[in-house]
Chain A
C-alpha cells in the first residue's frame, strides 16, 4: 500500500491564482482531512470528510474548497491564493472519523505540500 499520497510536493503561486492540491489514499479509509501547518505552529484543521459525498468545515476553512467524489480522493482547492495561505499542507486519513462515544482512530498523514504564495 502506498498509504496517503500528496501532489505536488512543492508549489509556488502568485496572489490570485487558483490551484488544487491532490490527496489520495489506498487504505479504503472513510475519514479524510486537510490540515495546514505554519512555521512553529501545530496543525490546524481546514476541512474534513467522513465519507464519499460528505464534507464539512474545520477550524480554518475560509479560502478553501473540498470535494469527496470517491473514497480514495480528497482534493483541496485554493480559490484565489493569498500570501496568508503560504504554509505546509497535510492530508490525512483514518479508518473512521471520531465516534459519538469519543473514540478516535489513528490518522495516517501524507508527506505534505509546501506552498508559497507571492
Chain B
C-alpha cells in the first residue's frame, strides 16, 4: 500500500509559483509530513516539515488541510536552480517494528527559462 502519491513530473517557468501536491490518505494521527529536494548526483536535502495548517521557511511553504490527507509544497518564484526531484515523506512501519519516514518516487520538477 503506497504511503504517498505525487505527480511524477511537473514543468514550470522561471518566476512562477509552483505547487506540488502529495496525497497521503492513510496518514497516521501522529505522522509529520516532510519534504526533501534532490539534485542529480546528490543526496536529498531537507526542505520543510509540518504537522498541520501552514508552515513557512526561507525556501518554501507547506500547506496541510484539516483532514491531513494531502499536503502542498509551494515554491515561490522558481528559478532554473529549483529543477530537482521533490519527495514527500510520511512514516511507515519497518520490518523491525519502527516507524520510519519513507521516500516515494518523488516529483521531477523542470523549470524552463
User: With A45-B94, A103-B32, A110-B43 known to touch, is A98 a contact of B105 (CB < 8 Å)?
Assistant: no
A101: interface (CB < 8 Å): yes
Could you tell me the distance in whole angstroms from the C-beta of A8 to the nearest C-beta in chain B? 15
A56: interface (CB < 8 Å): yes
In chain B, positions 2-30 with a C-beta closer than 8 Å to chain A are 28-30
In chain B, positions 31-46 with a C-beta closer than 8 Å to chain A are 31-32, 34, 36, 41-46
B: residues with CB less than 8 A from A are 28-32, 34, 36, 41-46, 49, 87, 89, 91, 94-96, 98-106
Secondary structure of the B contact surface, majority rule: loop
In chain A, positions 4-59 with a C-beta closer than 8 Å to chain B are 4, 33, 35, 40-45, 48, 50, 56-59
A: residues with CB less than 8 A from B are 4, 33, 35, 40-45, 48, 50, 56-59, 61, 90, 92, 97-98, 100-104, 106-112
Could you tell me the distance in whole angstroms from the C-beta of B88 to the nearest C-beta in chain A? 10
Could you tell me the distance in whole angstroms from the C-beta of B50 to the nearest C-beta in chain A? 11
User: With A42-B87, A56-B94 known to touch, is A98 a contact of B43 (CB < 8 Å)?
Assistant: no
User: With A42-B103, A43-B103 known to touch, is A101 a contact of B95 (CB < 8 Å)?
Assistant: no
